[in-house]
Amino acid sequence: MEFDRLVHMANQIGKFFATQGKSNASDAIADHLRKFWDPRMRKQICAYFDSGGKGLDPLAYRAVEMIAAQQREAGNASAK
């Protein structure tokens, strides 16, 4: 899937959760991405984030940042 499509989708999800008035919208976005995005999509958006994440709205950016950190931790744990 193209990065611009993933960015658009992540931003749309972010806009939805932002309207819900939750103070932890980034957590809700990250949870949604973990539950409903295919692992390959999450891997791609994390790779995009690692290259700068241009175009991600702040809430989506923070959500992807959390997922990327979690994936790095899981990778480090399995390498031990």
Residue 47: both structure tokens together: 């790779």
CA atoms within 13 A on the CB side of 33: 34
Q: pTM score, two decimals?
A: 0.88
Tell me: the pLDDT tens digits for 23-80?
Answer: 799 999 999 999 999 999 999 999 999 999 999 999 999 999 999 999 988 877 765 5
Side-chain-side CA neighbours of residue 13 (13 Å): 25
pLDDT in tens, 38-48: 999 999 999 99
The torsion defined by the Cα of 21, 27, 30 and 34, in degrees rounded to 10, comes to -110
